[in-house]
Structure 1
Amino acid sequence: MLTVERVAPPPEVAALLARAADQAAMPAWRIAAQRLAGLGLVVAIVFGAIGLLDLLFGIMDRAGWLVLIIGASLMLVPVAVLSVGGEIRAARARQGAAAALKATLAGGQVSRFTLERDAAHWFVEHEHGVIHVCAADAGRTLYLDLSSVADDPRWEDWYRSGRIHRRTWRWYATDDGVLAGFVAEGEPLAPNSFQQAAGRYDPDDGGALFEWLGSPGDGDVIARPFAKVDAFIRKALPPS
């Protein structure tokens, strides 16, 4: 069962959130400069390799170099403009998230989640991580999506290592859904992996569950009893 309390973040959680805010607040011009520097390095390596081959074997004349430079410019300038523009837009979005994090820290309150699990739960892997579903209370289901492509410590530090398979989970989150301080403790529980029970891995299994639940987000509490979710998952299992 899931309980949620409003508390002051402990020092280690406040430090994690402050670090996340500082990283998100990186100026757009700095990110754009980093992207251009990376693109420039690639161009320098390519032209350096061509120049070395030309020096050794004389593979290009002056006209060839002129065509190469003009062609590369026509191709690279639009790529650079689009890439930098995208990074600037993303940086502005991150700066908004950083401001929200700093406001949360100034307010001094976050949500503390405590999840007491039992054998009634499922892990369903998909191509970008793993879904975990269990009872939030008697009539609702908690949906968690542990991401393998985002910076998600639940996946890297807990799920992949097998340390997550414990009865009690605790974590903190801001009102914008930024998670920090996840721990799993207490007595061990069976993993209840759908893939192990089904004897196969198919990323569409996670997608089917996601769509059937109404495309929830990580941490959403769904107004369906877990028994119905469990029945839906078990329908996809081969006959025992």
Structure 2
Amino acid sequence: MGVDDRVGDRPVAVSGAPGLLGRSGETAALRDLVVRACAGSGGALVLHGEGGIGKTALLDSVHTEHRALQVLRVENTQTETELSFAGLQHLTGPLLRHFAGLPQPQREALGVALGRRSGPAPDPLHLGLAVLGLLAAGAEEQPVVCLVDDAQWMDRSSLAVLAFVARRIAAQRIAFVFAAGGPCPPAVGRVAAEDRAPHSGTPTAAACMDGVLRCRRAGLPHQGRHQARRGGRAVRAAR
């Protein structure tokens, strides 16, 4: 394992994994996202495009390159789309050691969502703050990278919570990467639309309209369309 970047006097460890052919723009944006998060400037990036164009390979690259950090990954399937909070359960499992440190209203909300206790439907604000609290507690130990694959199949309850959290990590050592195919889920589109931090050196592509990232060609060699968006800017490359 090598070291590519440093944040202050702390190295950001990477594996030295080979780059993906024709994906230099996306991999640079992903690396920048993680390095910024390690420095305490968290953010979210959305990968959106049709199936089979390499979004999962990009997530694999992030996972391998930054495996020295806390990488939490959810691979969603159509079979769990209707199971409320199934995705949240997968993502938060490794951080439940911090559950006891949450304020009581947040513990109650998260406990109900994860099936740890019975009760009425959890309050959305308390639930979102509970998940943010878990991630923030984990990030105090080591930066956290959350990878959400096939976000279009994540249950909507979980997706709403993660979108809430992803919009509130600007001062945290937390990074989110969402990958979605087909129609971009509105909650994911809003994450990209509302995070306006600039990314230098990244070519712009499609604009965000009505909270949905619209794909279009960007004049590069092309086998299917692919879009990666960080903050308010989009990048694209061919497979």
TM above 0.5, one fold? no
Query: TM-score, normalised to structure 1's length?
Result: 0.22
Which protein has the bigger helix share? 1
Q: Relative contact order: is structure 1 or structure 2 higher (C-alpha 8 Å, sep ≥ 6)?
A: 2
Bigger Rg over Cα: 1
